[in-house]
Every structure is written in structure tokens, then in C-alpha cells.
Copies of this chain bind each other. A is one copy, B any other.
Amino acid sequence: MSTFGEFFRVHTYGESHCRSVGCIVDGCPPGMELTEDDIQPQMTRRRPGQSNITTPRNEKDRVLIQSGTEFGVTLGTPIGMMVLNEDQRPKDYGNSTMDMYPRPSHADWTYLEKYGVKASSGGGRSSARETIGRVAAGAIAEKYLRLAYGVEIVAFVSDVGHISLCPPTAEHPSPSTNPSFLSLIQTIDRPTVDSFLPVRCPDASVSQTMVDLISSFRDSHDSIGGVVTCVIRNVPSGLGEPCFDKLEAKLAHAMLSIPATKGFDIGSGFGGVQIPGSVHNDPFVAANQPDQPIPPAVAESGAARSGIPRPKLTTKTNFSGGIQGGISNGAPIYFRVAFKAPATIGQDQTTATYDGEKEGVLAAKGRHDPCVVPRAVPIVEAMAALVIMDAVLAQQARHTAKSLLPPLRQTLNSVKPAGNGVTEDTGKA
């Protein structure tokens, strides 16, 4: 089903060649100021044609809110949104020999296996246009999260092919131990990321190397993959639902649902398997120290205005990536998403016909995007926003429900005379 989320629920529709693509967002809190101007910027960041190394098409992608707001304020009812398709003519199958060959590593063949009907656009819903609804919905979620908690979500390109912003080293098998990486995710913002267009990798030198690499793939009619890294700051603690809907599980689900993704890791990630527990464990320290000023976005948030207390603890290191036991601990959440090289290339490809009877050569022609990761940045941000928004509403519900119960007897003996403060870990795991 084309639905994402439980509490903040997004339903999308649309293929490449139908009248429109769009979505319904169900569960948006009422009383939030919202117009198309809140949504369009991320739509525009997602658009092809932003440079000469991305696809040269110039789609318009103007979003139109259909329902759920009035006088620029959300009503709490479903928000319908749509973007018209400019090319609405499905191809007549009889006119193209492309009908004979499923394109390698596209979804043409698997969609036919699944539905038994061949759509004009091949893998109907697998088109990148499908991500429009995600980005529109994500922009709404993001606005709420910013207003209510000061949440900041920033993604950037960290790898293109073998070029990496923070390559693993013997000393730092995982970026979690790399001071320059840790510093970057504390401060990076979207204007900075976009100042490194066309690749959105926030380092002048690495960025230029990536441009050169992508250009060389473009010139050889080939394509290349990359990695988008994303950080979410100022996340409330307590988000994520045991056991199956751990916060990292939902993030993984969200990210691997983006077309062309092949991997996800969080915190210390794959590199972290090499780090001993004695190093990898994140010791707790008191939060809210005098030398840690409250970030402005947090200070101005609804949570601050409502006097919601901030967590008393944080962690000294952050191998966990802001999530422990599937639940956010308030530290920055950071993760990486791997994107494969785009399947559409400007080269002849030998492959087989749909019926498997014949082998032949599928000759590519026309525009293609040699590397999708720069455009994937706002999509990763949108999906991250949808996950966090859903988890926020779930946790708000639980917290409020609890608040109406009579106070309990003390369940945590926090002021015992503990001698030297040494206690025992029974190791039940």
C-alpha cells in the first residue's frame, strides 16, 4: 500500500504519464500556519535541472494544496496536494521497439511480474516523480517539528563513487570517532549545503573532485553512485516504539524505500562493528551544562514555551547515533544512505526480451542523470521528517495519556547513600 506512517500518515499516487502526482497527508496537527510557500522550497531543491551535471530537464513541479487548510491555517483534516504532470501522454506501445526489452536494473520487468500489466512508463510507480509526494509531505512534517521542538534536519552528499568526505581509516573505521565529521554534523545547515551545488558536498576540495568524477561519468555516458549522510538535531528524547518500530528501524525503512538505495547505517554503522564495547559504549553525562547554550531553534520552540523539561542526561560520545534500545536519547541522530549508480545510461546494453526468447541490444538515447545523490538530499530529509514526525505524535500521545493518571509511589530510588557510587551490572542481555 502506498501509505507511510501511523499517526502522521502519507498516501501518495501518480505515475510519470498520468494527469498528476500527489498525496494526502492525514494527521497534521490543526492550527499550524501552512501555505504552498512552506512546501515549494524543498520541491524545488528536489527538481532536476539544477546544474549541468544533473539532468537538464526543467520540470516545474508547482505544488497545489487541495484541502485541509483555510486562510493559511491547517484544519486538522486531510491535506490533499498535487503537482500536475506536464507530459501526460502515455506512450502507445505499438510505436516503440522499447516494448520488447525490459531495461536492465529498471523496474520494467518486476512491475510486469507483479501486476501482469505493463505501464507505459515501465516501472510505473518506481519513477523518481513518485518522490514528489514524499517531499511535499515531508515539508509539512518538518515545519511542525521545527516549530514545536526546534528540530533541524540536514542532509548532504558525503560520497560519490570512491570519493569520500570522511573515508574510513585504520584509526577511524567509523565516522563516529572522526572529530571533523562530528564537528560537521553539529553545525551543518541547508544554505551551506546548497552553497556547494551542484554536488551538495560541504567541502570545497572534495566537492570539486566529485564534480570532476561525475563529469567524467557523464562524458563516458555512464553513471555512478554515492552516499547521502543526514543529521537530525534537537530531537526530543523518548521517540521510537519497541520492539519492531525502533526509531532506527523506521528510518531504515524510510530510506530504503527511496528509489536506488542499497544501504543504510546509523551512528557507528558498519564501521562500528570493529569498535570494542569498552570504547563503543557511550557514557552518560549531565546535559544542560552552563557551557552548553540552548540552541536558538530549541529556545524558541513550542516545547520550550510550554515548559517541557529537557533531558537531564546526554552522552559523552555518540556511537549510538542518538538512539539507544530503539529510542531517541536527545543526541544528534546521524545516518548514511547508499545510492547505486542510476540504471539509465547512454550506452548500448545487451539484454533479453520480455519473453526470454531472444537476446539483443537495447540502445540508450537521450537525457540521463549520471549521479542522483545531489537531488536525493531533500528526499532523504523529507523521509527523515516523516519518521520523526510520526514518532513524535506517538510519544506525545503516550506522554499525555500518562499525565492524567494519579501520581505513583516512588519507583526510582535515586537518593540512596551509594557509598563510592559503584554498583553492579548483572549483565542480563
Contacts and interface: CB of A to CB of B under 8 A. Distances in A.
Contacts of A178: none
Given A15-B77, A257-B249, A263 B265 contact: yes
Contacts of A268: 262, 340
Contact of A352 (B223, B269, B285, B349): B285
A3 to B, nearest CB: 7
Contacts of A251: 256
Contacts of A140: none
Interface string A70-109: 1101111111101000000010011011111111111101
Nearest to A148: B404
B340 A416 contact: no
A395 B30 CA distance: 12
Contacts of A302: 403-406
A338 B269 contact: yes
A392 B114 CA distance: 11
Interface stretch (A192-200, A201-209, A362-370): A362-370
A125 B242 contact: yes
A385 interface: no
A149 interface: yes
A329 interface: yes
Please tell me how many copies of the chain the complex holds. 4
A184 interface: no
A242 B77 contact: yes
B109 A324 contact: yes
A247 to B, nearest CB: 9
Given A269-B338, A276-B217, A99 B361 contact: no
B412 A356 contact: no
B31 A116 contact: yes
A363 B421 CA distance: 9
A12 B243 contact: yes
Contact of A398 (B97, B115, B325, B414): B115
Interface stretch (A38-46, A291-299, A311-319): A311-319
Interface in A114-159: 114-128, 130, 144, 147-149, 159
B306 A273 contact: no
A9 interface: yes
A27 B117 CA distance: 14
Interface string A208-234: 000000000100001111110000000
A262 B273 contact: yes
Given A7-B397, A147-B404, A327-B111, A414 B320 contact: no
B225 A273 contact: yes
Given A15-B67, A74-B117, A90-B71, A281 B326 contact: no
A181 interface: no
B402 A397 contact: no
Interface string A248-278: 1111111111010111111111101111111
A19 B80 CA distance: 9
A181 to B, nearest CB: 16
A277 B345 contact: yes
A186 interface: no
14 contacts: A4-B244, A11-B11, A11-B26, A13-B24, A18-B80, A31-B117, A105-B277, A105-B320, A124-B242, A273-B339, A276-B341, A278-B347, A305-B404, A364-B424
